[in-house]
Chains A and B, each alone.
Chain A
């Protein structure tokens, strides 16, 4: 039933927004850690895609989360940057052969996939927290938030991605 990629991705979009906003934004682990699991959208999105469309979808994903969390357009900036940088990150993690027709996520090693996820998360968190605080005098606070939130996000994303493992195209 759920084989249509458009349907899967819209479903994923809505579900990730709801989960992010209603569960993970309310977590506040140790008083400041709110994992941003919606990064999984960029991990799961099909490898071969229409790039302008992907950029637009990413913008709306980030912006929807912004609306709910009153963060102006910070998630939106982080999201489009992730979408734009995704091919570069993929080439870095999976080598140049990811562009070939026969390439699938299945043919990659677990380590490669986790590196890819980690890079996505780090990039997203660095952009988000730097812009959120935007002050050099708070550099330690920014670093603290980036490091701890990244760890929490990575753990959760690895868990969630193995829970909802599926045929990746």
Chain B
């Protein structure tokens, strides 16, 4: 016993180094395999608050530009609204809507690492929960991963763990949207069957298989496509509509039917 203690004392620096490295590796590998670490992320009280303060200062610098973007979007929405009214009475019972939308602002963005997360300034108190979709006026942004009472982190589409159902606009060919960590303005759409006819410039939107995003939210356009190695399906490079380097206003989408859908799918899978 004495010897063991002496040994540890003699090599205490090495032991400490190994222990700390192991702790870090465990934290890292655990969050690699599944969700981002629950306890250590930038939506937490201290980290969220620091980014919040920095955001209140820096948000003044581009107020004018952001206002212009919002006004443009309002104009677009008004246009759609008026056209809808013409066609028929609008369903104006908000209780019946499947999707609800919450506005949030980005307080921390990142796009250089292979696993990018964005922090937004709305949290549980505003009704944000894990697995809600996040979009910008231009297109999709990501999925809510962790929440604290006032902040939330979003797993960006620029994340190697991201996997979102997407399809080619106006068809029903669907595939998965993934990212190969190469360029921050290009993501990959895989598993589109060979029978689909593609053209460079076609629009890619979210698909109907996802219970997170509504169908037909724009993602980007086809930049280039290739058959994959076993020649059975296409791998498509999609150039994003969103400029991922410059995001401020976002909308968090809640699907009220998601729980029901998940439950149904789970019970079906259980029977098998």
Contact = CB atoms under 8 A, between A and B. Distances in A.
Given A31-B184, A80-B17, A66 B40 contact: yes
A141 B179 CA distance: 14
Contacts of A76: 20, 24, 27
A133 B17 contact: no
Contact of A77 (B25, B50, B110, B153): B25
Given A67-B41, A73-B25, A73-B28, A55 B20 contact: yes
A73 B23 contact: yes
Contacts of B98: none
Given A21-B50, A67-B47, A72 B32 contact: yes
A59 interface: yes
A51 to B, nearest CB: 5
Given A70-B153, A132-B113, A141-B182, A77 B21 contact: yes
10 contacts: A28-B245, A67-B41, A67-B47, A70-B153, A73-B25, A77-B25, A84-B17, A132-B114, A132-B115, A134-B32
A81 interface: yes
Contacts of B169: none
Interface of B: 12-14, 16-17, 20-21, 23-25, 27-28, 31-32, 36-37, 40-42, 44, 46-47, 50-51, 54, 108-117, 119, 153, 181-182, 184, 245
A59 B42 contact: no
A68 interface: yes
A18 B57 CA distance: 15
Interface string A120-156: 0000000000011110001001000000000000000
Nearest to A70: B117
Nearest to B25: A77
Interface residues of A, number: 37
Contact of A55 (B13, B37, B109): B13
B181 A141 contact: yes
Contacts of B16: 52, 55-56
Interface string A64-93: 001111111110110011001000000000
A70 to B, nearest CB: 4
B14 to A, nearest CB: 8
- A-B pairs, top 5 by smallest CB distance, nearest first, are A73-B24, A70-B117, A73-B27, A72-B28, A76-B24
A55 B24 contact: no
A6 to B, nearest CB: 20
Nearest to A149: B112
